[in-house]
Amino acid sequence: MSTIKSNLDDGARILNSAGVESPRQEARLLLAHASGLSVATLMGYPERVVENDSLFRQLVSRRAAREPLSHLVGRREFWSLPFKVTADTLDPRPDSETIVEAALDCVSDRSAPLRILDLGTGTGCLLLALLSELPTASGVGVDRSVAAARVAAENAAALGLGGRAAFVVGDWGQAVTGGFDLIVSNPPYIPRDHIDGLELEVSRYEPHLALAGGEDGLSAYRAILPDVPGFLSPGGVAVLEIGADQADSVTALAQKVGLLVSPVRSDLASRDRCLVCRKG
């Protein structure tokens, strides 16, 4: 008969051999998900019998094949909010919280009824994090993936923000008109030849549409930036996530369409992470 401890020992050993970075912690999260028991129970009662461990064992072998933990448990936290994630959405990354922080720093009155546009919304994490901080703001999230837009709408509803968020399927700015106080975007920016070299969780399981930035990683910026000056209200700002070595190239593209670019902002690992652009 298997116990919590024997399940965790087996799971951690399999995940460790597969190269998963925090095998015991992940085994615990998978067992909590599979059994419906809390992590605190798993830690406090290691000798408790687990009646049916088949779901746990399936999840461990999927994780050993490097399927992301978030896909297996169906959620990921961002800005301390729970987000549903699926194979159609990019996993929200802690580094992208830099975009939310930078956007909030540009807001002088958090009670103003701001209008926000999120281009390439995925799970809706950037837009919904902002709406959670700006109680009278409203926003639109755009994604070319129908499935991602649907997940974003579900996240908005689950977070109680559905009344202030709309999601549309479209090619960047084509489906929207202007008048936005804030534009945020974390577009795909991985150069085509770099995708296969990413960790397996990303290259095998995250949607290509969310990663692929064309040959040089900049094709989405080339598509998005020309619309930005026309979309911004007077005094509005656009906050763009960038890859660690893209600050100069994206700054040049933004300046080419007449935007003023503030000094690049770094993430927690001190890598260049975001650009704040204003109308000139």
Ligand X SMILES: C[S@@+](CC[C@H](N)C(=O)[O-])C[C@H]1O[C@@H](n2cnc3c(N)ncnc32)[C@H](O)[C@@H]1O
Q: Which residues bind ligand X (CB under 6 A)?
A: 90, 92, 96, 120-123, 125-126, 142-145, 148, 171-172, 186-188, 209-210
Residue closer to ligand X by CB (options 7, 145) is: 145
Nearer to ligand X, 56 or 167 (CB): 167
Measured between alpha carbons, how far is 71 from 225 in angstroms, rounded to an integer?
32
Closest CB 148 distance from ligand X, rounded Å: 5
Nearer to ligand X among residue 171 and residue 193 (C-beta): 171
Residue (11 or 141) nearer to ligand X, CB: 141
Antiparallel, parallel or unpaired: β 115-119 and 138-143: parallel
Distances (CA, A) of 40 to 23, 36, 56, 119, 124: 17, 12, 17, 39, 30
* Contact between 162 and 156 (Cβ < 8 Å): yes
The C-alpha angle 193, 195, 197, rounded to 5 degrees, equals 90
- Report how far residue 177's alpha carbon sits from residue 168's, in angstroms, rounded to the nearest whole number: 12
Residue closer to ligand X by CB (options 162, 207) is 207
Distance of closest approach, residue 30 Cβ to ligand X, in angstroms? 23
Angle in degrees, CA 104, 137, 109, rounded to 5: 50
Rounded CA gap, 42 and 30, in Å? 11
Helix, strand, or coil here: 98? helix
The DSSP code for 92 is P
Shortest Å distance, C-beta 58 to ligand X: 27
* Closest separation in Å from C-beta 106 to ligand X: 18
Q: How far apart are the first and last CA of the chain?
A: 69
CB-nearer residue toward ligand X: 107 or 202: 202
CB 26, min distance to ligand X, A: 21
The answer to whether the CB of 132 falls within 8 A of the CB of 161 is yes
- Which of 171, 196, 202, 179 minimizes the C-alpha distance to 90? 202
- Least distance from C-beta 127 to ligand X, angstroms? 8
What are the structure tokens assigned to 125, written together?
């994490």
Report the residue number, 28 or 265, with the smaller CB distance to ligand X: 265
How far is the C-alpha of 139 from the C-alpha of 177, rounded, in Å? 12
CB of 4 to ligand X, least distance (A): 34
Nearer to ligand X, 7 or 185 (CB): 185
Taking the complex as a whole, the smallest distance from the CB of residue 223 to ligand X amounts, in Å, to: 7
